[in-house]
Amino acid sequence: MYDLASVALETAKVRGATYADVRTMHLRQRDLTTKNGQVGTLAQSESLGMGVRVIANGAWGFASTDKLTREGVAACAAQAVTIGKASALAKRGELVLVPENAYVDSWQSAFRKDPFEIPLETQIALLLAADAEMWRVKGVTLTETGMQFRKIDSWFASSIGSRIHQRKMQTGCGIAATSFQGEEIQKRSYPSSFGGQHALEGYELVEALELLKHAPRVAEECVALHSAAQCPEKTGTLILEGSQLGLQIHESVGHPIELDRVLGQEANFAGTSFLTLDQLNQLKYASGIVNVVADARVEHGPGLGTFAYDDEGVPAQCTEIIKDGWFRGYLSNRETAQLIGLQRSSGTMRTESWNRLPIIRMTNISLLPGAWPYAELIADSDDAILMETNRSWSIDDRRYQFQFSTEIGWEIKGGKKGRMLKNPSYSGITTEFWNGCDAICSREHWMLWGTPNCGKGQPMQTMGTGHGAAPARFRNVRIGTAFAKI
């Protein structure tokens, strides 16, 4: 692969590029689903190709190819330079990259069982068994299960001398039961919604989640929700469990810190950000107990945002985003870092595939653990509502005003978990919400959740991100408004 990369780099140089990098990627994926006791999806695919990115006449050019011959790669690099020179005719300023060292390295994410070596029959049998366990519960009208596996090999080479190979194994699975009664639909998912849990692990993740064990409970709660009390409409105390808090972090912290959004480079698709440059180190983002990091390092955990190097060849890092409640940092790349005076990229450039440009993406955006045991947090909450598992969300294009609903809620009275509540929801303003956080559970209750389907860019790229969170409590939150009677 590096021989072909050298051809591309040399061609780009000869054609006039002042910088070039090459990403060759081999992607393998397997997707399995069942629905109501029948196999729904049974798909496996592979993709192999190269993307060449250059700076020519002070502007970016990019081209890609799946013709991995010397001729095909050279033609691709030449096209990238031609596009860069054409782009330079409309450039608004000079393109400058912050310095970065050259690296020669090889890295593989840790996993114990390669899911692509597990027979399809074994995987489908587990899904069908979990499906059947949910279907046994009277009142369930739809059962769904799924597994997703990704093996990604990438070879990165740049004109500054980097040569980096990385292999990542991603695994995800989950189950869900839905019940229709009259005009009402209720749903319960495990271990979280929208496909379940996803991580940089092998098939051992599927085994650890024990789908068969949890399937009956999921179905029973789904049916029971029809008889549950409606979540009240009020302003009060809210406790969010980990997976829901992970999505809250994703939408109200992760997206607004993407520096391309802040600078308006992403405005036409994903919106901008309320975190303008004058807010850095000046905004009281959250209460003093809130600390959030962007951490792609292996020691942070097996998140979907974990790697050794980003797709610009920058090593994985931990960046402070919120420190003791204050806004401290953005997600940057080598270009945007220079635009705001940073000395180094925070290493967040990633691409979905060989035929897409790398763009700034969330890594693992995580709320660091607090000090509260979960039982003590519940016992300390006299009148609160606990909400679990996302159902829907909405947030404006500056990531400032939001509304979320969850699949299930629980009333907390006198420090005890009480009756089940249906159709729970909450809404707020990002900084007001986070400044209302007064308790975060300890490391024992912290988990690195995976979001596999974050969309960004044009053409859109779907990437996985990680979000570490433990259950946390928030005061003075508007509750129940999404399902309020008009």
**What average pLDDT does this structure show over 124-136?**
98
Please report the pLDDT score of residue 484 as a whole number. 61
**What average pLDDT does this structure show over 35-52?**
97
**What average pLDDT does this structure show over 425-440?**
98
Sign, Cα dihedral of 116, 122, 124, 129 = negative
Whether omega before 373 lies within 30 degrees of 0, making that bond cis, reads: no
- Does residue 60 carry a pLDDT above 90? yes
Could you tell me which residues come within 8 angstroms of residue 297 by beta carbon, excluding any fewer than 6 positions away? 306, 316, 317, 318
| Number of C-beta neighbours around residue 77 at 10 A | 30
- Does residue 378 carry a pLDDT above 50? yes
- Tell me the pLDDT band of 94, cut-offs 50, 70 and 90: confident
Whether omega before 424 lies within 30 degrees of 0, making that bond cis, reads: no
Q: What is the greatest pairwise CA distance in the chain? A: 74
- Does residue 270 carry a pLDDT above 80? no
**What average pLDDT does this structure show over 238-244?**
98
Please report the pLDDT score of residue 343 as a whole number. 95
Place of tokens 């209750």: 445
* 8-state DSSP, 125: H
Q: Is 281 left (phi over 0), alpha (psi -120 to 50) or beta?
A: left
Please report the pLDDT score of residue 45 as a whole number. 97
Helix (H, G, I), strand (E, B) or coil at 432: helix
Place of tokens 């259950």: 471
Q: Which two tokens stand for residue 401?
A: 């005003």
Please report the pLDDT score of residue 390 as a whole number. 97
Please report the pLDDT score of residue 483 as a whole number. 74
Q: How far apart are CA 403 and CA 478, in angstroms?
A: 10
1 against 214, higher pLDDT: 214
Q: State whether CATH 3.30.70.360 applies to domain 2-227.
A: no
- Does residue 352 carry a pLDDT above 80? yes
Please, how many CA atoms are within 13 Å of residue 134, restricted to the half-sphere of its CB? Answer: 34
Q: How far apart are CA 68 and CA 62, in angstroms?
A: 16
| Number of C-beta neighbours around residue 101 at 10 A | 11
Place of tokens 């499906």: 131
Q: How far apart are CA 54 and CA 33, in angstroms?
A: 40
User: Strand (E) positions, 36-183?
Assistant: 38-56, 59-65, 104-108, 142-158, 163-181
- Does residue 485 carry a pLDDT above 60? no
| Number of C-beta neighbours around residue 432 at 10 A | 15
For residue 261, what is the enclosing H or E element?
A: helix 259-262
Q: How far apart are CA 294 and CA 323, in angstroms?
A: 12
- Does residue 268 carry a pLDDT above 90? no
Q: Which two tokens stand for residue 372?
A: 């509260």
**What average pLDDT does this structure show over 207-231?**
98
Q: What is the 3-state secondary structure (H, E, C) of 34-76?
A: EECCEEEEEEEEEEEEEEEEEEECCEEEEEEECCCCHHHHHHH
Q: How far apart are CA 70 and CA 302, in angstroms?
A: 37
> Which among 390, 417, 425, 64 has a CA at the least distance from the CA of 244?
390
**What average pLDDT does this structure show over 363-385?**
97
**What average pLDDT does this structure show over 400-418?**
97
Q: How far apart are CA 356 and CA 50, in angstroms?
A: 10
Q: State residue 333 phi and psi, 5-degree precision.
A: -125, -175
- Tell me the pLDDT band of 486, cut-offs 50, 70 and 90: very low
* 8-state DSSP, 254: I
- Mean pLDDT of all residues in the chain? 96
- Encoded amino acid at 473, one letter: R
* 8-state DSSP, 414: T
Helix (H, G, I), strand (E, B) or coil at 463: strand
Could you tell me which residues come within 8 angstroms of residue 466 by beta carbon, excluding any fewer than 6 positions away? 199, 300, 301, 303, 304, 305, 306, 363, 364, 365, 366, 448, 449, 450, 451
The percent of residues above 90 in pLDDT, for the chain, comes to 95
For CATH 3.30.2290.10, the residue range(s) in the chain are 2-227
**What average pLDDT does this structure show over 38-64?**
97
pLDDT in tens, 144-196: 999 999 999 999 999 999 999 999 999 999 999 999 999 999 999 999 998 99
The percent of residues above 70 in pLDDT, for the chain, comes to 99
> Which among 244, 286, 313, 281 has a CA at the least distance from the CA of 439?
286
Q: State residue 270 phi and psi, 5-degree precision.
A: -100, 0
Please report the pLDDT score of residue 203 as a whole number. 98
| Number of C-beta neighbours around residue 469 at 10 A | 29
94 against 407, higher pLDDT: 407
**What average pLDDT does this structure show over 305-325?**
98
